[in-house]
Amino acid sequence: MRLFISVLAVSLAIGVTGCSDGPSNETVQKVDNDFLGTIKKDLEAIAESGRVGSGYSVLVSNVTALAKKDPDKAEAIKKALTEMLAIKGVPKIKEKAKEIIKML
């Protein structure tokens, strides 16, 4: 019987006081996608390595998203990226990536 009363008292205390400090005052910030910044970062990685890797598809999707804000710039960048894919040789790829960065 004592065990039952003890469990009941603890349960009642937890129920009345709660298990947390109440609602959090933490605010959630809306993320504004910085497509130009992301594109630049990806191109800088290509300019440094001279290799177009698996991140290329993400790069293209960011350029596509940029098209909503600046369609002319996005189209020019897409064209330059297509040209970059056709280039052979690390030094030329690095040069083309730096050229695209200047377009941003």
pTM score, whole prediction: 0.66
Mean pLDDT of the region 80-85: 94
**CA distances from residue 41 to 5, 26, 38 in whole angstroms, order as listed:** 64, 30, 5
Domain spans in the chain, listed from the N-terminal domain onward: 35-103
Task: Let me know: does 50 contact 91? Beta carbons within 8 Å.
Answer: yes
pLDDT per position as a tens digit, 16-42: 665 555 566 666 554 456 888 899 999
pLDDT per position as a tens digit, 35-81: 888 999 999 999 999 998 888 889 999 999 999 989 999 999 999 99
**CA distance linking residue 79 with residue 100, whole number of Å:** 10
